[in-house]
Amino acid sequence: MSFFASVIGKSNVLQEESELSGLNEDWMGKYQGNSRLALRPKSTDQVSKILAYCNEKCIAVVPQGGNTGLVGGSVPVHDEVILSMSRMNEIRSFDPVSGVLVVDAGAILHNVDEYLVERDHIFPLDLGAKGSCHVGGNVATNAGGIRFLRYGSLHGNVLGLEVVLANGQVLNALSTLRKDNTGYDVKQIFIGSEGSLGVITGLSVLCPPRPKSVNVVFLAVPSFEKCQEILTAARQRLGEILSAYEFLDELAFQTVLNIHHGRVHSPLPYGASSPFYILFETHGSNAEHDKAKVDGFLDYLVESNLITDGVVSQDETQAKSLWFIRESVPESISRAGKVYKYDISIPVSKMYDIVLDMRKRLAHLPQTQVSGYGHLGDSNLHLNVVEPTYTAETLHLIEPYVYEWTASVGGSISAEHGIGVMKPNHLHYSKSPVAISMMQSIKAFLDPKGILNPYKVLPL
Amino acid sequence: MSFFASVIGKSNVLQEESELSGLNEDWMGKYQGNSRLALRPKSTDQVSKILAYCNEKCIAVVPQGGNTGLVGGSVPVHDEVILSMSRMNEIRSFDPVSGVLVVDAGAILHNVDEYLVERDHIFPLDLGAKGSCHVGGNVATNAGGIRFLRYGSLHGNVLGLEVVLANGQVLNALSTLRKDNTGYDVKQIFIGSEGSLGVITGLSVLCPPRPKSVNVVFLAVPSFEKCQEILTAARQRLGEILSAYEFLDELAFQTVLNIHHGRVHSPLPYGASSPFYILFETHGSNAEHDKAKVDGFLDYLVESNLITDGVVSQDETQAKSLWFIRESVPESISRAGKVYKYDISIPVSKMYDIVLDMRKRLAHLPQTQVSGYGHLGDSNLHLNVVEPTYTAETLHLIEPYVYEWTASVGGSISAEHGIGVMKPNHLHYSKSPVAISMMQSIKAFLDPKGILNPYKVLPL
């Protein structure tokens, strides 16, 4: 302990149960570790010294960002040392001409986005956990979020990374250039590596200009087929301004209204219940043009009988309240009971079938409820099963069925949440033996002693 | 030879000097190998058998796509076996709903784009060599091209790869899903690896919808400072529809007119010469909105005295002829003499300084000419020095000066052309020792015998 105290100061070496309990457990209460030590470095150099020491002594380390993950990747499994990135939260630089931001890994996404909005830019990623999650954690998990459709993957938007390797060496690949083809793009391997190959301490990101005009539209749709038809039409008619296309089923929607009883109401004028709801958003540079496109599109939807009800946000407050409904789904469902969460990529046409199949499969368990929602525009479904307490029986009815089902349609068993401690043994459903073997080789040369986030990502 | 003939058929085993000469030399006549054998496989399985055999016998192999590279990456250095991908040129599948294309690596970019255009989509990459280059080669070199500004990096657009590893194992990472976070994204390491880590045999790519409305504008601009001002204004006023922003200096422009004398004329109404020219393009979904944005922008440019002349394409033919001027620059300059080509990323504000500095440095050599052009919107400069024959004196005046200059402003010594055989020993100007060491470790575990594209990418 005296070594760690000498590097980061005594007050940043946490050993009290009261200080550790929140860091040992994930926010869903599903994963629970037993670490006796958490460290809070303030600089890359401190992270480097900590890892060099831990590597020498073979001490296991779990890097922890905002601890908002969904697969147990950021909490210890046993007594790993928790490396909290929360004090590394400075903006390092921002260039308004190129839109390139350089920032510490532990900065909170919401704070970074606020900083950028003041400078007429936005972060290329947005998600429900933005008030807590760290941008470094977003990169480590290759987060997707709600505007992936428009701004694309972090593999494209992250221009550079600073990473401390297991042995304490600092990889400075913090390029701020949009184009740099000088040899292998080594930073890419850390994007989505979930803290198992190195600790991301800094990142440079290409940030798009802040849209001058934003429209948010909430629709009631009578069938999943029509949700797909609307998506195809939106791609054609809204084109380059479409920035999000999300769906909720009736159960997900009602859960939000029930949990927030009296405080959240259906935004739809007719208010009748509907099997499906779509939220779509546009980001554009010309309010008049965008409004013309959105109005024309809505006229088309009404004439084609694709929707039964709809509302367009009239101001920023209303836009936020529409987004609140979509973004509150995960938290509302988890307040309704214990949740088995699955995050899968499936071709759009088959996306809702797994929800219907799962309902049939669990029909004899009256206390379970199955809902589906997510990023329809990216073929990304969030399948949630909720029941009063976690039971082995239900788990075995769901797994590996859901993974087999997903593999059978060429889907991915983890669209955006990652593998963590939840899915290493299911990796083979989506990755070939050669790919898994390559992953193991990469782990072996970057972290030969296996100190970084053990028991995660790779099958044992 | 009998082994190779048994795998791919005798007619695809090339040994005649007449057949080999075009494959041994790059298109600029700068790099010349001495291979006695070229193989033309038709399938992934054949590539796998060839590599397994070569790996066992320690036979070096150079994968070759369209041989349009600019750093000697696709021609042998000594007598490596040439693995030509030209017969692997089939479209495997295309899904018009998701826009995901799966294609053989040896398909020619132009052919792929034509196929997509018929299906109301486009390839997310476009470049001057499109009539010859292969899509697999584009991925292997992480090509940037002229619409990078809008559609972004191949690291974001390539969804999956099929790669034959040095030992003949096939890595099937040919996902067609937009989102797939199942473990490390191993395919990323092959994007930009220049054939030195594996042979890309197939790819799946996210293709954007074909724009319904395209505008191409050619401008005469009195100074480089004004070229930058126009870029900033274009980002604000054209926003999401801006798809390319290219510049040429006067010498690059005049070289095109001279080489194509009588067949290509200045497109500008007043035709007077200008220090700089800008070509910008818009891609959009609504012709009326796009025209209003472009017209408003041009009015602003005239009122603000940012341009001295300009023309807007009135139809597709005129749009193509404007693009022809920009796209003919590399070929026109190479017909004017032997070219020293540099492809560098530099912050926009300093981008043209290296051209001016190089002219001063070579002022005593009256037969050399220095021009600058490229992807201004991506901070990517193409610096070309042309003289009647290659001379050691000129080379030593340019290198390492140009690399030192680039490193001193935090630039990249290879923005999009790669490293090849030209720049391995200059890699250190843009990559840290830790990054180079990581590259070497990756090479060592993926190609332990070093049979794939030796003498390239990595410093010896």
Q: Same domain for B406 and B342?
A: yes
The secondary element (H helix, E strand) that includes residue A339 is strand A338-345
B460 within some domain:
no
B256 within some domain:
yes
B246 within some domain:
yes
Coil, helix or strand at residue A265: coil
B197 within some domain:
yes
CATH number at residue A408: 3.30.70.2740
From chain A, the residues in CB contact with B98 under 8 A are: 347-348, 379
Q: What pLDDT is attached to residue B28?
A: 84
- Residues of chain B with pLDDT > 70, as a percent, come to 100
**What mean pLDDT value characterizes chain B?**
96
Name the residue among B141, B179, B427 with its Cβ closest to that of A182. Answer: B427
A229 neighbors A306 (Cβ within 8 angstroms): yes
B190 neighbors A434 (Cβ within 8 angstroms): no
- Segment B414-431, tens digit of pLDDT: 999 999 999 999 999 999
Residues in chain B: 460
Q: Do B189 and A191 touch (CB under 8 A)?
A: no
Q: Same domain for A193 and A109?
A: yes
CA angle in degrees (0–180, nearest 5) for B131-B135-B139: 135
The two structure tokens encoding residue B405: 């200059």
- Segment A407-437, tens digit of pLDDT: 999 999 999 999 999 999 999 999 999 999 9
At residue B25, does pLDDT exceed 80? yes
Q: Same domain for A225 and A251?
A: yes
Q: What pLDDT is attached to residue B271?
A: 87
Point out the domain boundary residue: A52, A84, A116.
A84
CATH number at residue A291: 3.30.70.2190
Q: What pLDDT is attached to residue A29?
A: 87
Q: What pLDDT is attached to residue A460?
A: 84
Backbone Cα Rg of chain B: 22
Task: Report the candidate in B75, B42, B45, B43 with the shortest Cα–Cα distance to residue B61.
Answer: B75
> What average pLDDT does range A100-127 have in this prediction?
97
Task: Report the candidate in A81, A65, A82, A79 with the shortest Cα–Cα distance to residue A27.
Answer: A65
Q: Do B432 and A173 touch (CB under 8 A)?
A: yes
Task: Report the candidate in B385, B383, B389 with the shortest Cα–Cα distance to residue B397.
Answer: B385
CATH number at residue A137: 3.30.465.10
pLDDT level of residue A47 (50, 70, 90 thresholds): very high
Q: What pLDDT is attached to residue B102?
A: 98
Point out the domain boundary residue: A84, A119, A134.
A84
Q: Same domain for A28 and A135?
A: no
Q: Do B412 and A379 touch (CB under 8 A)?
A: no
Q: What pLDDT is attached to residue A283?
A: 97
pLDDT level of residue A271 (50, 70, 90 thresholds): confident
A450 within some domain:
no
In B, minimum Cα distance to A196 occurs at: B184
Name the residue among A183, A431, A439 with its Cβ closest to that of B427. Answer: A183
> What average pLDDT does range A355-373 have in this prediction?
97
- Distance between CA atoms of B428 and B434, rounded to whole angstroms? 10
Residue with tokens 């341009």: B307
From chain A, the residues in CB contact with B349 under 8 A are: 97
Q: Same domain for B244 and B169?
A: no
Domain with A372, as residue range(s), is 337-417
- Segment B294-317, tens digit of pLDDT: 999 999 999 999 999 999 999 999
- Segment A277-312, tens digit of pLDDT: 999 999 999 999 999 999 999 999 999 999 999 999
- Segment A430-444, tens digit of pLDDT: 999 999 999 999 999
Total number of domains in chain B: 4
Q: What pLDDT is attached to residue A136?
A: 98
CA angle in degrees (0–180, nearest 5) for B319-A239-A293: 105
From chain B, the residues in CB contact with A153 under 8 A are: 155-156, 178-179
Q: Same domain for A246 and A226?
A: yes
Q: Do B435 and A191 touch (CB under 8 A)?
A: no
> What average pLDDT does range A365-370 have in this prediction?
96
B171 neighbors A432 (Cβ within 8 angstroms): yes
pLDDT level of residue A146 (50, 70, 90 thresholds): very high
At residue B6, does pLDDT exceed 90? yes
- CA distances to A331, A337, A432 from A33, rounded to whole Å, are 22, 22, 30
B264 neighbors B324 (Cβ within 8 angstroms): yes
B238 neighbors B297 (Cβ within 8 angstroms): yes
> What average pLDDT does range A164-189 have in this prediction?
97
Q: Do A181 and B156 touch (CB under 8 A)?
A: no
At residue B123, does pLDDT exceed 90? yes
> What average pLDDT does range B354-371 have in this prediction?
97
- Segment B228-248, tens digit of pLDDT: 999 999 999 999 999 999 999
Q: Same domain for A54 and A105?
A: no
Name the residue among A175, A183, A445 with its Cβ closest to that of B457. Answer: A183
φ and ψ of B313, to 5 deg: -60, 135
Point out the domain boundary residue: B206, B228, B256.
B206
Coil, helix or strand at residue A138: helix
Q: Do A169 and B97 touch (CB under 8 A)?
A: no
pLDDT level of residue B252 (50, 70, 90 thresholds): very high
Q: Same domain for A128 and A35?
A: no
In A, minimum Cα distance to B458 occurs at: A183
Q: Same domain for B105 and B15?
A: no
> What average pLDDT does range A154-163 have in this prediction?
98
In B, minimum Cα distance to A418 occurs at: B181
In A, minimum Cα distance to B413 occurs at: A182
From chain A, the residues in CB contact with B177 under 8 A are: 345, 379, 410-412, 415
pLDDT level of residue B350 (50, 70, 90 thresholds): very high
CATH number at residue A56: 3.30.43.10
Q: What pLDDT is attached to residue B328?
A: 95
From chain A, the residues in CB contact with B239 under 8 A are: 209, 211-212, 284-286
B447 within some domain:
no
Task: Report the candidate in A8, B447, B437, B237 with the shortest Cα–Cα distance to residue B459.
Answer: B437
pLDDT level of residue B332 (50, 70, 90 thresholds): very high
> What average pLDDT does range B339-357 have in this prediction?
96
- Segment B428-455, tens digit of pLDDT: 999 999 999 999 999 999 999 999 999 9
A423 within some domain:
no
Task: Report the candidate in B416, B428, B415 with the shortest Cα–Cα distance to residue B458.
Answer: B428
B425 within some domain:
no
Q: Same domain for B105 and B128?
A: yes
From chain A, the residues in CB contact with B439 under 8 A are: 183-184, 186
- Segment A308-322, tens digit of pLDDT: 999 999 999 999 999
At residue A1, does pLDDT exceed 80? no
- CA distances to A81, A255, B257, B277, B315 from B271, rounded to whole Å, are 70, 67, 12, 12, 20
A8 neighbors A42 (Cβ within 8 angstroms): yes
ipTM of the complex in this document = 0.96
From chain A, the residues in CB contact with B144 under 8 A are: 179, 181
Q: Same domain for A97 and A80?
A: no
Q: Same domain for A317 and A382?
A: no
At residue B292, does pLDDT exceed 80? yes
Whole-structure pTM value: 0.97
**What mean pLDDT value characterizes chain A?**
96
